[in-house]
Amino acid sequence: MNYNQTLEFLFQSLPAFETQGATGYKPGLERISAFCRHIGNPQRNFFTIHVAGTNGKGSVAHIIASVLQQAGYRTGLFTSPHLIDFRERIRVDGEMIPKQKVVNFVDKHHDKMVELELSFFEMTAAMAFDYFAQSDVEVAVIETGLGGRLDATNIIVPILSVITNIGLEHTALLGDTLPKIAREKAGIIKKSIPVIIGEADPRYNEVFEQIAAANKSRVIYAEKEFRCEEHHTEGDYQHFRLRRTRDNREFDAELDLKGEYQVRNIVTASAAVDFLHEETPLTISRRAYLEGLRNAAANTSLMGRWQKLGDAPLTICDTGHNAHGIAWVAEQLRSTPHRELYCVIGFVRDKDLAHILPLLPREAHYLFTQARSERALPAAELAAKAAIYGLQGEAFGEVGEALKRARELASAEDMIFIGGSTYVVAEVL
């Protein structure tokens, strides 16, 4: 097979949650464990940091990977979903896996994949582990796909686990309360391996404490380790005054990722980096840490996090797609100077819009749309649901049409926002 034929096999022959929803979700570690045994358990050849959470896990994973790269380590990064190119999911030192490596892996292991009935995500995780081992990666940052306990990535034994936060998402699969979802995410906690909790919350802290205690693991709350004392955006960077609480040391840091929600992520990532330097074989200098923050997006090619696409009108996209993430986006929209606001938004069918739509600003003009995905909610149906919550606008069958109309309506002093779904954002990048 050539590369395009390989992608066709991966996307059309393997069950995938991202394209099929719940019917494509195959929880459990039996298949991925058997397949990785078949290919020699490559995930055991390098240190790993495991990152889970409802929101922020992608940003935190990229920030940690950037810092490790700046520290001189050959660094793997496994994330999902991709926005434009499948190979975004698997990177070494910021560079995507070569197309031929994808082809070779699938050609070599095709029969075993079919025999074990691997899901798309299981295959992708195994491909990442194999490529990292072949590439002599020293440390890899591994982001969970969905949940944690039964996620395919959970066959790794990391040197550190990180759980960014807990919000209501995928409730049909992970549970319909925060404690239930926290229990699934906490499934990445391994025996005697510390876990960093990005955002503490009395509604689910006890879940983490109980599971960590059962595994004789230490719980480290990021907010107790680092605090953000000041924060502002200037030019292409966010500027932070951070304080490490154990010695009250303050220092200035810059981050090339936008969005006020990155305050939480930089605190979580800082706690993780501090632990890695102090309590693992890894050595990370203060300079590497600060340069890693400053070049997080540049080093790892992270896209879609409050990303500016243009000026006059200011045009922003963001992949926040659940109630927790949309709340952050709505807060950012309100704090960003503009005259009129035009929102190009679309969602997938299984989103809990009753909790999402009330968070969006009523004063905006909406251009409801749908991405080219089987899971996309039809634009007309979204418009009807949104009207119940006082959100008014027009419906467009294609993202490009909606964005074109927004640009026709907006003046130089206005703002255009594109979001609601990773798939919508992918079509404008």
Q: Are residues 187 and 311 in the same domain?
A: no
Q: Are residues 33 and 105 in the same domain?
A: yes
- How far is residue 193's CA from residue 190's CA, in Å, rounded to a whole number? 5
Q: Are 203 and 193 in contact (CB under 8 A)?
A: no
Q: Are residues 183 and 269 in the same domain?
A: yes
Q: Are 158 and 64 in contact (CB under 8 A)?
A: no
Out of 300, 332, 349, a domain closes at 300
Q: Are 103 and 59 in contact (CB under 8 A)?
A: no
The CATH number covering residue 44 comes to 3.40.1190.10
- Please give the angle made by the CA atoms of 200, 204 and 208, to the nearest 5 degrees: 80
Q: Which residue has the tokens 């002093």?
A: 413
pLDDT over 90 for what percent of the chain?
91
User: What are the tens digits of pLDDT across the range 249-308?
Assistant: 999 999 999 998 999 999 999 999 999 999 999 999 999 999 999 999 999 999 999 999
Q: Are residues 296 and 312 in the same domain?
A: no
User: What are the tens digits of pLDDT across the range 186-229?
Assistant: 999 999 999 999 999 999 999 999 999 999 999 999 999 999 99
Q: What pLDDT shows up at residue 371? A: 97
- How far is residue 387's CA from residue 429's CA, in Å, rounded to a whole number? 28
Domain that holds residue 325: 307-426
Q: Are residues 152 and 265 in the same domain?
A: yes
Q: Are residues 92 and 214 in the same domain?
A: yes
Q: Are 284 and 277 in contact (CB under 8 A)?
A: yes
Out of 300, 331, 360, a domain closes at 300
As for how many domains the chain has, the answer is 2
Out of 285, 300, 315, a domain closes at 300
User: What are the tens digits of pLDDT across the range 20-42?
Assistant: 565 556 789 999 999 999 999 99
- How far is residue 254's CA from residue 262's CA, in Å, rounded to a whole number? 11
Q: Are residues 355 and 243 in the same domain?
A: no
Q: What is the DSSP string of 165-222?
A: -----SHHHH-SSHHHHHHHHGGG--TT--EEESS--TTTHHHHHHHHHHTT--EEEH
Q: Are residues 129 and 168 in the same domain?
A: yes
Q: Are residues 320 and 206 in the same domain?
A: no
- How far is residue 246's CA from residue 236's CA, in Å, rounded to a whole number? 31
Q: Are residues 285 and 317 in the same domain?
A: no
- For 316, half-sphere exposure in the C-beta direction (CA atoms, 13 angstrom radius) is 22
Please state the pTM of the whole predicted model. 0.94
Q: Are residues 52 and 125 in the same domain?
A: yes
Q: Are residues 195 and 98 in the same domain?
A: yes
Confidence of residue 19 (pLDDT cuts 50, 70, 90): low
Q: Are 280 and 220 in contact (CB under 8 A)?
A: no
The CATH number covering residue 420 comes to 3.90.190.20
